[in-house]
Amino acid sequence: MTQKYWFIVTILTLITVIAWVIFDIVHTRSQVEMPAKWQEVVEPISPDFNLQGLQ
């Protein structure tokens, strides 16, 4: 394998990595934030059980 071949492979790999990083940044910035009302619905339920309600 020649030096020219490795140069081309290196350039293509570099372009791929740069495109991957750019697309990841764009994807992260475009994510929609969850409204506050949904945040309340998604909160975990308390594991403490109220025994006084059963008596």
Q: How far is 7 from 55, CA to CA, in rounded Å?
A: 78
User: How far, rounded to the nearest angstrom, does the alpha carbon of residue 52 sit from its chain's CA centroid?
Assistant: 43
> Under a CB-based contact definition with an 8 Å cutoff, are residues 34 and 42 in contact?
yes
Residue 10's alpha-carbon distances to 6, 15, 48, 49, in angstroms, are 6, 9, 58, 60
What pLDDT tens digit does each residue of the chain (55 aa) get?
A: 799 999 999 999 999 999 999 999 998 887 777 777 777 777 777 777 777 777 6
Residue 22's alpha-carbon distances to 16, 25, 30, 31, 53, in angstroms, are 10, 5, 12, 15, 55
- pLDDT at position 16, please? 98
- pLDDT at position 13, please? 98
